[in-house]
Copies of this chain bind each other. A is one copy, B any other.
């Protein structure tokens, strides 16, 4: 088993799935079709008709069921065949279905044993719900690199000093860093005192002032990270009101490709749409023009080789990423023993 099964993967944003248009997306190498069943629920089936393996996404959704576009077998959201225009319905006429929950403006799918699909295990991202839409920036960035490389990227923010030196970084390398484990979470803190703030923080720390910037990343398996940021003029006491939370969630499409979902939220300037749009531009630029090409080139150099077989040289900044990789490995191995 190369992927964790008994966990919730983010399959998309709620807004990607409209009442009329289904969503086809491959997660952990499983081609899936999602649609709204018209009763408030969401169906997720293997995107493959059991008859002749046409993709159900080439069919038609109607009355909460999907009709294969090739020979007309119809399946409801549970994967049960509800219409065979050519004869009777047998128990073999079914499509694998997966539990889906819509929460925190996102779609979550459970690929493991469905009886274990406990929605309380969905990561708590209630900060998204608590943030007005005008202060949320959600994005989706398909990236041709392994999802663990994308987790590494967020768990080692020192890269910001080199990939985003003036926009997001510049103060990370000299920050005080500490890594800890908090239950299922790996937590890494970056504490930069009295530093020159990069452009992204100039709204909070007016030039030419120096500032305190504190960033925390909390990782939970398989690859869900929340980044907390506090920035203020040097010496300002840290407050939750000043702390912005951003989701970075890496859903594997396959071993070489990742569905990267992110959502920036902030508790300040929440009605300032112009600021939101400014921030959206900065984030989109950094993630898609600076991070993504580096991650994809890194993946190209690694190719099909195992990351550890290449014997990476580990630095102090890698502690959190290495702990997260080991935790995930242990979880995947535990599943394969069951």
Contacts and interface: CB of A to CB of B under 8 A. Distances in A.
Interface of A: 31, 47-48, 50-55, 58, 67-73, 84-87, 90, 92-93, 149, 152, 156, 158-159, 161-163, 173, 293-294, 297-298, 300-302, 310-318
A152 B86 CA distance: 16
Q: Is the interface of A mostly helix, strand, loop or mixed?
A: loop
A315 B159 contact: no
A157 to B, nearest CB: 10
A46 to B, nearest CB: 10
A297 B54 contact: yes
Contacts of A85: 158, 161, 173
5 contacts: A55-B298, A69-B162, A72-B161, A86-B316, A93-B313
A59 to B, nearest CB: 8
Copy number of this protein in the oligomer? 3
A90 B31 CA distance: 45
B86 A53 contact: no
A312 B161 contact: no
Given A69-B294, A313-B93, A86 B51 contact: no
A158 B71 contact: yes
A55 B299 CA distance: 10
Contacts of A58: 293-294, 297
Contact of A162 (B70, B87, B301): B70
B152 A312 contact: no
Contacts of A316: 86-87
A72 B298 contact: no
Given A51-B315, A53-B302, A72-B162, 18 more contacts: A51-B312, A52-B298, A52-B312, A53-B301, A54-B294, A54-B301, A55-B297, A55-B301, A67-B162, A69-B162, A70-B162, A70-B163, A70-B298, A73-B315, A84-B315, A86-B173, A86-B317, A90-B313
A311 B317 CA distance: 49
Nearest to A88: B316
Contacts of A48: 301
Nearest to A54: B298
A48 B311 CA distance: 12
B162 A68 contact: yes
A156 B84 CA distance: 15
A68, A173, A301, most chain B CB atoms within 10 A: A301
B315 A152 contact: no
Contact of A298 (B53, B293, B301): B53
A312 B71 contact: no
Contact of A50 (B53, B68, B156, B313): B313
Contacts of A70: 159, 162-163, 294, 298
